Amino acid sequence: MSRIQTKNGTPISRLGFGAMQFGRTADARSAQEMFEACVAAGINHFDTAYSYNGGASEHMLGQILGARGDNLIIGTKAPNDRPATADNLRAALDESRKRLGIDAVDIYYLHRFDAETPFEETFGTLAEMQSQGAIRYIGVSNFAAWQIMKAQAVCTVIDTQIDACQPMYNLVKRQVEVEILPACADQNISVCPFSPLGGGLLTGKYTSGAEGRLQEDKVYATRYGQPWMHETARDLAALSQCMGIAPTTLAVAWVARNSAVTSTLISGRNVEQLQPSLNAMTLDLSEGIYEEIAQLSPKPTPATDRSEETLP
């Protein structure tokens, strides 16, 4: 069971909302409407980052929060464009708390792995912030499994722990299944994956020739450009039609169904776009359907090279 809960003791919700589009494709009105729709659906986990949209995401989320902070879990991330030094972390956290209008950030993530700054300095600083009440839980985002375990080892020495991990995870990006998810399960680290829709690929819209981020953004075009990924998206759309459930809902529910996943982050530009993802909040896939969906994409190979052997 996840250690992460609200200040008043409510467990973190099965789905969370990622506010990366606040101040980008979502204006103040759409942001407010999506926030309220999430709360009404039972979501208490909201995620942002210092670097999203020049700070606009944190600022807009802070304006919406008001006095509801004790009933919610607010996560944000340290800057991803500078080293994770003590001075940088302290300055960024102060700015994030000011933007969000809160005294303490519930989950404070390192946004990326920093190979230059000693882990003892980085996580020692996070531990100090934690002991001072400025953050409640320590998280890492976009870390490899060995980096998570190295961080956990440092944290153990200074009497704290990694509480949350935020990796990319969806039906066509399954590398986390090899080592990250098992490592987090072993260490009782909550997993809050992002991008369950594969940049929009798994919504089914591209199967009908629609255009979007996969054509307009070179990073996403490269990330999801392999032909088999688009074949998986077509197969998911076909299955969704047979089941009468939107492919978006199935894609989100599939990620959330994994026993190692704690709170899957969904997002959108407006409530209409968000709703199919929200519907996954109450969709519990059977083991059979979960496995049927899993078969639509290649399972990643094991971490060792002796998987062909059968143990007695």
Q: What phi and psi values does residue 70 have, to the nearest 5 degrees?
A: -65, -20
Number of domains in the chain: 1
Q: List, for residues 153-175, the tens digit of each pLDDT value.
A: 999 999 999 999 999 999 999 99
Q: What is the pLDDT of residue 208?
A: 67
CA atoms of 80 and 112, how far apart (whole Å):
6
Cβ atoms within 10 Å, residue 1: 8
Q: What is the pLDDT of residue 254?
A: 98
Q: Which residues pair with 45 in a beta bridge?
A: 73
Q: Is 26 exposed, middle or buried (0-12, 13-18, 19+ CB in 10 A)?
A: buried
Q: Which of 16-20, 126-130, 206-210 has the lowest mean pLDDT?
A: 206-210
CA atoms of 109 and 105, how far apart (whole Å):
10
Instruction: Quote the radius of gyration of the chain (alpha carbons, Å).
Output: 19
CA atoms of 299 and 173, how far apart (whole Å):
10
> Could you give the dihedral angle defined by the CA atoms of residues 285, 288, 289 and 290, in that order, rounded to the nearest 10 degrees?
70
Contact, 277 vs 268, CB < 8 A?
yes
What mean pLDDT do residues 265-285 have?
97
Answer whether residue 138 is part of any domain: yes
| Rama region for 42: left / alpha / beta (φ>0; ψ in -120 to 50; rest) | left
Considering the chain, what is the average pLDDT of its residues?
95
Answer whether residue 33 is part of any domain: yes
Answer whether residue 309 is part of any domain: no
Q: Is 100 exposed, middle or buried (0-12, 13-18, 19+ CB in 10 A)?
A: buried
Contact, 102 vs 71, CB < 8 A?
no
Answer whether residue 4 is part of any domain: no
Question: Side by side, which strands form the sheet with 164-166?
Answer: 190-191, 164-166, 135-141, 105-110, 73-77, 45-47, 15-18, 264-266
Q: What is the pLDDT of residue 298?
A: 96
Answer whether residue 312 is part of any domain: no
The whole domain housing 83 covers 15-197+258-283
Answer whether residue 31 is part of any domain: yes
Contact, 80 vs 112, CB < 8 A?
yes
Answer whether residue 230 is part of any domain: no
Specify the CATH number for the domain of residue 119.
Answer: 3.20.20.100
Answer whether residue 291 is part of any domain: no
DSSP string, 136-152: EEEEEES--HHHHHHHH
pTM of the model: 0.95
Cβ atoms within 10 Å, residue 222: 10
CA atoms of 39 and 68, how far apart (whole Å):
11
Q: List, for residues 228-261, the tens digit of each pLDDT value.
A: 999 999 999 999 999 999 999 999 999 999 999 9
Q: What is the pLDDT of residue 90?
A: 98
Q: List, for residues 175-210, the tens digit of each pLDDT value.
A: 999 999 999 999 999 999 999 999 999 998 877 666
If we measure between CA atoms, which residue out of 295, 261, 84, 267 comes closest to residue 177? 261
